[in-house]
Amino acid sequence: MLGLGDKHTNSLTMDQPVPSSLLDTGAQNIISKPLPRYEGAKKVSGTARYSAEFTAENMAYGVLVGVGHGSGTVTGVDADAIRGLPGVIDVVTDFKSFLRNAGQGGETKAPTQGVEEVAYFGQFVAIVLGETYEAARGAALQLPLTVEPAEGRFDFDALKGETDTPPPNNIPAHYTQGDLDRAMAEAPLTFDATYTTPSQNSAAMEPHASLAYWDEGKLTIYGSYQIPTKDAIALAKALGVSQKNVRIVAEYVGGGFGSKLGISPESAAAAIASRQLGRPIKCVMLRQQVFDGTVRRSNTEQRVRLAAEADGTLVGIGHETLCANLPDEDFFEPAGIGTHSLYKGEHRVITHDLVRVNLTLSGSMRAPGEAVGMLAIESAMDEFAEQLGIDPIELRRRNDPDKDPEKGVPFSSRQLTRCLEVGAERFGWSKRQPKATRRDGEWWVGLGVAAATRNNLLEKNAAKARLNAAGHLFVETAMTDIGTGSYTVLAQIAGEVMGLPFERITVKLGDSESPESSGSGGSWGACGSGSAVYLACEEIRNQLAKKLGVDPDAMTLKDGMAIAENRSTPIGDLAGEGIEATGEINPGKQKDAVTQASYGAHFAEVAVNAVTGEVRVRRMLGVFAAGRILNRQTARSQCLGGLTFGIGAALTEELIHDVRNGKAVNHDLAEYHVPVNADVPQLEIEFLEERDVHSNPLHAKGIGELGISGAGAAIANAVYNACGVRVRDFPLTLDKILPHLPADLPSA
Amino acid sequence: MHFTINGQAYDADLDIRTSLLDLCREHLGLTGSKKGCDHGQCGACTMLVNGRRINSCLTLAVMHQDDEIVTIEGLGTPENLHPMQDAFVRHDGYQCGYCTPGQICSAVGMLDEVKKGWPSHVSGDLTSAALSDEEISERMSGNICRCSAYPNIVDAISEVAGLTPAEREVAGA
């Protein structure tokens, strides 16, 4: 087997901790460095190509047509009415195979199909094909659809008495420990309040897009997707073709935030139309269609109960939640996921129940669970601290458990209290005044804090690395970079293990035909794909040592040279015709042996206008501990994004459904208010030093969603501190604040 | 129809309904300008037309046959970046990169507006606009970045504008 062009594999299942990492012993010293992005020059020059920017010979344009009813049966698609329009090629409908709902994150089964029955307003029933985009779009707007309307379920508030309990997803829908009711009855201090959060949309800047073509029975889709490996399998099933006959390419993805985890309806529509027409079809969703027909974060109603001893130590914690989804979809917003292990409390009830509605599919949006669950829990902790008359940081410190309060196992690493303390010092928390006592002109000013936690997940991932004779390393995995920094951190991991500078590494991502990857989602991307790259490079490293006849530990790799026994050899020379290795990481017993999560603390200073109730965020600080930080700059940027999603969730983002037909009335970027530049002050991010030997060989944990988890609660708590108005119904728009504002400063 | 884009002449046979953005993306292979909303709401399609920043999705190509159009491709190339592009890379003024060409074109156009003395909503003095972080944030609020690189975008622009730390902190009215 020795010789040129060797191929090797290196597989690791996380059944036990990995006590030492090559990232700590590497000599290249590029891991964790704030290096500019690998693909930076391409992105800023407009030469990075996103899905809709590929083209194919004889390509036609497809525009989807959604139905203008929220429930009923499609009885007619009058294609003849538009077929004669200039430039229109055809109208394609497939009542059986079109996707009714987008796919859920991580699914490999086909999404719900069949579009004759209307499950929600805007559901796509046809694709209009044109020689130009203008012809297709113009005709799509005129396509007559007839629908036999039916009664639908559109009003969450009216229907919330009728619920069902969904099957588990990453947590069970219901969890009970001890007797919370009794704890609430007997504890000296209790709290019981209900919070609500609205529907939200990921609103990634790039609309969902697929360019589909068939070549000898094989489908290729340039598609804006987060998980090409699984999405290709799901699409193959939806189309009834073999998995090897579907390829998804997603070299660059213009943001996802969960909305592109699963395949969305344009993929199947473009593929079916392309097969029928015998031409490549490009279909890009209109922005309104992204809101109408992909996926939303469900609205929630969350009851929080806390029971404590006189000193504030929790003996009971309840987090009972309602969310909504379509009748045949069991995904529930896991609002209580963070609550399972965040605080002490022997008596616990954490539940999730579903209200069935005819509204756009509910699915994953950035930090499913924590993002909205922590709005409630961390607001409640703030309210409870006020009730107890202790500092909210002190209340959290007293309730920071030393082991998982449900499973009884240790935490892999946990610096929650440390994050709060470091943040308090840096933010000037000690200067926080009692509520409604600080004024700056016509603004009430206040400070707020909240904890951050986000579950750490590891999924199966593989990667291939190949070192050539020139000493250049090629890394390949079906992972994606959706703005997360995957290209960059994978190059840094490979560079550190292989002793290669950035410019001698090529990273290829976003192709379902590359080694399988969990893709980008759930904050698992960097750790999973990074571990696979690490293992592939470790194996190449071992092979280089073998060729030198030394122990790998006795060899140093730096700047393309292998240094051992006082000799320095170019690694390209050792590679001969190339060394190729596949790395594979699998989750194992560590998943249950320890509880793994990233932690942090959010601090916010806000100003509330005493006249209008307008809230402005003046400054924010996030302190985070998430194991090894792979690139301090891209990790910081992820956290900036998380905090900003928190600003949106706290103050502006609300997808409003018409209760008569379920239509998302504010389905565009002018009416659905994501934060803009002027809404976001200079945000500060600090990372605490940490290594997590239980998580993976990188000793890193997920960070992409940590920044949003709790961020909005810090803002809501700051609003309360500023003006004394507690709003439990997110977002905190001024109409909810204005009627309750104090008349003015209390007299001294 | 005839166009001048990035100093280069183009001919195109277009449907009269074609937007300036779709002309570039679908007919000329200039895909650097992005389509985020097609309604002038997000700014991803921002181009410079006769030196002024505009939402190219909101204007028809046919109206611009006599104009000088500059897209992101005309500002710089990967090998030879414009100072604003370079600053965006160094300050990580992007993540997914989809809004980025629009942000950069917008920033270049915006600095020129300030140079001409155009005030903004937050300008304290309507006759002599001076740049600050607050002014940059206000003037760049037509360009949405969902990844939220806003603080880094402001850093990049203020560096290109040559602002001192003290100048950056000046508040408006």
Of B15, B31, B95, the CB nearest to A134: B15
pLDDT for residue A739 is more than 80? yes
Find the mean pLDDT for residues A478-507: 98
pLDDT for residue A179 is more than 70? yes
Cβ-contact A229, A512 below 8 angstroms? yes
Q: What is the largest CA-CA distance in chain A?
A: 87
Cβ-contact A668, A288 below 8 angstroms? yes
Q: What are phi and psi of A728, to 5 degrees?
A: -105, 5
Phi-psi label, residue A495: left if phi above 0, alpha if psi -120 to 50, beta otherwise: alpha
Q: Do B96 and A206 touch (CB under 8 A)?
A: yes
pLDDT for residue A167 is more than 50? yes
Check residue B171 and give its pLDDT.
77
Interface test with A, best of B39, B88, B98, B108 (most A CBs within 10 A): B98
Check residue B37 and give its pLDDT.
98
> Nearest Cα to A250, choosing from A108, A109, A54?
A54
pLDDT for residue A743 is more than 90? no
State the CB neighbour count (10 A cutoff) for residue A11. 13
Residue-wise pLDDT tens digits, A551-604: 999 999 999 999 999 999 999 999 999 999 999 999 999 999 999 999 999 999
Of B32, B34, B89, the CB nearest to A40: B89
Classify domain A367-457+593-740 at the CATH class level: alpha beta
Cβ-contact B34, A665 below 8 angstroms? no
- Read off the tokens for A701: 């944990």
Residue-wise pLDDT tens digits, A393-442: 999 999 999 999 999 999 999 999 999 999 999 999 999 999 999 999 99
- Read off the tokens for A366: 């950035």
Check residue A122 and give its pLDDT.
98
3-state secondary structure A115-174: CCEECCCCCEEEEEEECCHHHHHHHHCCCCEEEEECCCCCCHHHHCCCCECCCCCCCCCE
Find the mean pLDDT for residues B32-49: 98
ipTM greater than 0.85, yes or no? yes
Residue-wise pLDDT tens digits, A369-383: 999 999 999 999 999
Q: Do B90 and A36 touch (CB under 8 A)?
A: yes
Scanning A153-298, the segments in alpha helix (DSSP H) are 156-159, 180-186, 228-239, 265-277, 287-293
CA distance A227 to chain B (A): 15
CA distance B66 to chain A (A): 23
> Nearest Cα to A587, choosing from A462, A459, A461?
A459
DSSP assignments along A184-212, one per residue: HHHSSEEEEEEEEE-BB----SSPPEEEE
Let me know how long chain A is. Answer: 748
SS3 content of chain A, % helix, strand, coil (to 5): 30, 25, 45
Check residue A3 and give its pLDDT.
42
Find the mean pLDDT for residues A91-107: 97
State which amino acid sits at residue A72.
Answer: G
Place of tokens 């090894």: A628
Q: Do B143 and A677 touch (CB under 8 A)?
A: yes
Contact list in B for residue A132 (CB cut-off 8 A) is 15, 18, 26
Check residue B129 and give its pLDDT.
79
Find the mean pLDDT for residues A344-361: 98
Q: Does domain A6-30+459-587 have CATH number 3.40.1800.10?
A: no
- Tell me the C-alpha to C-alpha distance, in Å, between residue A546 and each of A36, A130, A670, A728: 34, 60, 61, 63
Cβ-contact A476, A463 below 8 angstroms? yes
| Measured distance CA(A661)–CA(A671) in Å, rounded | 19
Cite the active site residues of A.
705
CA angle B72/B73/B75 to nearest 5° reads: 65
Contact list in A for residue B18 (CB cut-off 8 A) is 132-134
Phi-psi label, residue A483: left if phi above 0, alpha if psi -120 to 50, beta otherwise: left
Find the mean pLDDT for residues A625-631: 98
Check residue A1 and give its pLDDT.
36
Which chain A residue shows the shortest CA-CA distance from B151? A682
Q: Do B96 and A284 touch (CB under 8 A)?
A: no
Find the mean pLDDT for residues A612-616: 97
Cross-strand bridge partners of residue A686: A623
Check residue A5 and give its pLDDT.
67
> Exposure pattern of A181-217 as b/e (b: 16+ CB <10 Å)?
eebbeebebbbebbbbbbbbbbbbbbbbbbbbbbeee
Say yes or no: do domains A6-30+459-587 and A367-457+593-740 share a fold.
Answer: yes
Structural domains of chain B, ranges and CATH numbers in brackets: 2-75 (3.10.20.30), 83-169 (1.10.150.120)
- Tell me the C-alpha to C-alpha distance, in Å, between residue A110 and each of A149, A314, A332: 27, 44, 19
Dihedral sign (CA A667, A671, A674, A676): positive
Residue-wise pLDDT tens digits, A6-32: 899 999 999 999 999 999 999 999 999
CA angle B136/B120/B167 to nearest 5° reads: 45
pLDDT for residue B128 is more than 80? no
Helix A711-723 to helix A370-388 angle, to the nearest 10 degrees? 30
> Nearest Cα to A172, choosing from A407, A396, A410, A446?
A407
Cross-strand bridge partners of residue A347: A316
Of A37, A286, A483, the CB nearest to B89: A37
> Nearest Cα to A419, choosing from A634, A690, A649?
A690
Check residue B173 and give its pLDDT.
45
Residue-wise pLDDT tens digits, A233-262: 999 999 999 999 999 999 999 999 999 999
pLDDT for residue A748 is more than 60? no
Q: What are phi and psi of A368, to 5 degrees?
A: -55, 130
Helix A265-277 to helix A228-239 angle, to the nearest 10 degrees? 50
- Read off the tokens for A581: 């290795």
Find the mean pLDDT for residues A197-215: 98
Find the mean pLDDT for residues A186-199: 98
Check residue A747 and give its pLDDT.
56
Q: Do B137 and A135 touch (CB under 8 A)?
A: no
Find the mean pLDDT for residues A81-108: 97
Q: What percent of chain A is modeled with pLDDT above 70?
A: 99
Scanning A684-740, the segments in alpha helix (DSSP H) are 711-723, 734-737
- Read off the tokens for A274: 């392309």
Check residue B101 and give its pLDDT.
98
Dihedral sign (CA A337, A343, A346, A347): negative
Check residue A448 and give its pLDDT.
98
Whether the pTM exceeds 0.95: the reply is yes
Check residue A2 and give its pLDDT.
40
Contact list in B for residue A36 (CB cut-off 8 A) is 89-90, 92
Cβ-contact A617, A646 below 8 angstroms? no
Q: What is the interface size between A and B, counted as CB pairs within 8 Å?
A: 200
Cross-strand bridge partners of residue A655: A199
Place of tokens 């590494």: A505
Per domain, the residue ranges of chain A are 6-30+459-587, 51-151+208-284, 367-457+593-740
| Measured distance CA(A575)–CA(A569) in Å, rounded | 11
The sheet with strand A314-325 has its strands ordered as: A174-177, A347-356, A314-325, A300-308, A189-197
Classify domain A51-151+208-284 at the CATH class level: alpha beta
Interface test with A, best of B81, B92, B140, B141 (most A CBs within 10 A): B92
Let me know how long chain B is. Answer: 173
- Tell me the C-alpha to C-alpha distance, in Å, between residue A541 and each of A470, B34, B49, B53: 16, 42, 53, 51
- Read off the tokens for A149: 């309307």
Of B39, B92, B97, the CB nearest to A668: B39
Of B33, B97, B138, the CB nearest to A483: B97
CA distance A481 to chain B (A): 8
Check residue B126 and give its pLDDT.
86
pLDDT for residue A514 is more than 60? yes
Q: Do B78 and A46 touch (CB under 8 A)?
A: no
